[in-house]
Amino acid sequence: MTDSNRPPLTFAFFPGVATFEVTSDDIAEGATLANAQVANFMGYSGENHSPQLSWRGFPAETKSFAITVHDPDAPTGSGFWHWVALNIPANVTDLAAGAGSEGADDLPDGVVQLRNDAGTVGYVGAAPPAGDVAHRYVHTIHAVDVERLDVGADAAPAIAGFNLRFHAIARAQIVPVFGS
């Protein structure tokens, strides 16, 4: 797949919204993911740790945040959802490394994590097919205009995306890569 044949970045077709800043001690724009953010299946021996994330500069009317991690380059026809965390309180602007990993207890009360496309709850690391071009992992922080999105823990990531289309008032992204 050449760059001109790649799918657009996640949320490219959503209405335009304000942007703000997201930073991380673990990932960087265009940089290769570390083993900590790689899966431990499909021939990989990664650690499945969600990255540390911090954000600032979001609109004052933000009432909560959501985090999504999506691979638009996955050979599925719809990409691959690696993490969806909703209803993060507006006063939380930092998550520690591993906070969204399966079995971790580091997220604030009330945060809902959905099943990722690997079928587990929380963050699952990168695992592109061997020989594929390096995949992009779109880490997005969404500033949301309601305290709670009405999305249950058993919902598909697409339902979260549908709700975020109508409730995100700003977005911040970091897009690291991983693969051949």
**Per-residue pLDDT reduced to its tens digit, 86-143:** 999 999 999 999 999 988 888 999 999 999 999 999 999 999 999 999 999 999 999 9
pLDDT of the residue at 100: 94
Spatial distance between the Cα atoms of 93 and 71, rounded to a whole number of angstroms: 24
In DSSP terms, 143 is beta-bridged to 65, 170
Q: What percent of the chain has pLDDT over 70?
A: 97
Asked if residue 34 has pLDDT above 60, the reply is yes
Arithmetic mean of pLDDT over the chain:
95
Sheet holding 53-56, edge to edge: 21-23, 53-56, 94-95
Q: Which two tokens stand for residue 44?
A: 């990989």
Q: How confident is the model at residue 4 (pLDDT cuts 50, 70, 90)?
A: low
Q: How confident is the model at residue 5 (pLDDT cuts 50, 70, 90)?
A: confident
CATH architecture of structural domain 3-178: Alpha-Beta Complex (3.90)
Spatial distance between the Cα atoms of 126 and 40, rounded to a whole number of angstroms: 9
Residues 6+ apart with CB under 8 A from 84: 66, 67, 68, 69, 113, 114, 116, 157, 160
pLDDT of the residue at 113: 97
CA angle 106, 21, 83 (to 5 degrees): 40
Q: Which two tokens stand for residue 150?
A: 């009405």
Spatial distance between the Cα atoms of 152 and 113, rounded to a whole number of angstroms: 9
In order of 39, 103, 110, 119, 124, the CA distances from 143 in angstroms are: 27, 26, 16, 26, 23
Going by DSSP bridges, is the β-strand pair 21-23/53-56 parallel, antiparallel, or unpaired? Answer: antiparallel
| Phi-psi domain of 155 (left: phi exceeds 0; alpha: psi -120 through 50; beta: other) | beta
Asked if residue 48 has pLDDT above 90, the reply is yes
The answer to whether residues 70 and 58 touch, using CB atoms and an 8 Å cutoff, is no
* Least confident segment among 4-13, 20-29, 72-81, 113-122: 4-13
pLDDT of the residue at 103: 82
The residue-averaged pLDDT of 26-41 equals 97
Asked if residue 152 has pLDDT above 90, the reply is yes
**Single-letter residue type at 73:** D
pLDDT of the residue at 49: 96
Asked if residue 180 has pLDDT above 90, the reply is no
Q: Which two tokens stand for residue 63?
A: 């009432």
pLDDT of the residue at 104: 85
CA angle 157, 158, 161 (to 5 degrees): 90
pLDDT of the residue at 2: 53
The domains of the chain are located at 3-178
Asked if residue 3 has pLDDT above 90, the reply is no
